[in-house]
Structure 1
């Protein structure tokens, strides 16, 4: 009985040794792949910076799992089996001016600015208005209403002949 049990133990030990050697071989290969990936990533991170790096694929993304055979076959997901349709919408660009945000139906409040002194500096005669100019527009928000405020500047001239 001693020889038969010893033979079984030896056979079990040999099988375990073969399994351990195979496992060691696989782990060594995996370590080599990971070490190469670390080397490539370290070089990409700390190496010379160039847009045309030899470690980049044309689309700009390198594969981390190229050398690992378990990642060679693509995984099929539910999202990949659904057909995707995309549309491109081209909108006409509209050149919008600064004050185009005012709508035509907004109430307009006008504020007129007249000079304080209507006497002519040279002859002391009374000046007469000959034009007005819109200086600026501003939005004035009053709760529950919006008003358009227009400022006009009035220009006066002397009608006295200066000759």
Structure 2
């Protein structure tokens, strides 16, 4: 009986030693895990505060005052040089013109009066003086366009006269087929 008791006691002692070593290891592991968790908590709290600040700023931008007002103390940051220096002379006032000049009309004819005039007439050929309805076209009016032609040491006026045609039958029946505009 003694043997078995001694043997049982040795096993019990061995189990106690093993459990104490395991306990010491588990305490170290728990302390390491606790330190890691505390570090993770501090990192997460820093992230949380950053996100809360970003959210607050976005809400301020979104729902804040819509006018572009700045805090009065912030304006002094940029005026340091102006505050330190005192102006030697007052700034000159700018005068505004309160009247409007009228454009002078009719001077072109006076300026072109003494220049030689070259006239170019544009007529429709007799084949083209037929309306789309089949009736003949007659000369209704003229359109005049003037250009200034400058040749070195010589200036002249080129007058382009475009003859406008109409059909008497279409005029009487008030038919408008198309507009023929020949500008050369």
- State the TM bucket, normalised to the shorter chain: 0.3 to 0.5
TM-score under structure 1 normalisation? 0.38
Q: TM-score, normalised by structure 2?
A: 0.35
Greater helix share, 1 or 2?
A: 2
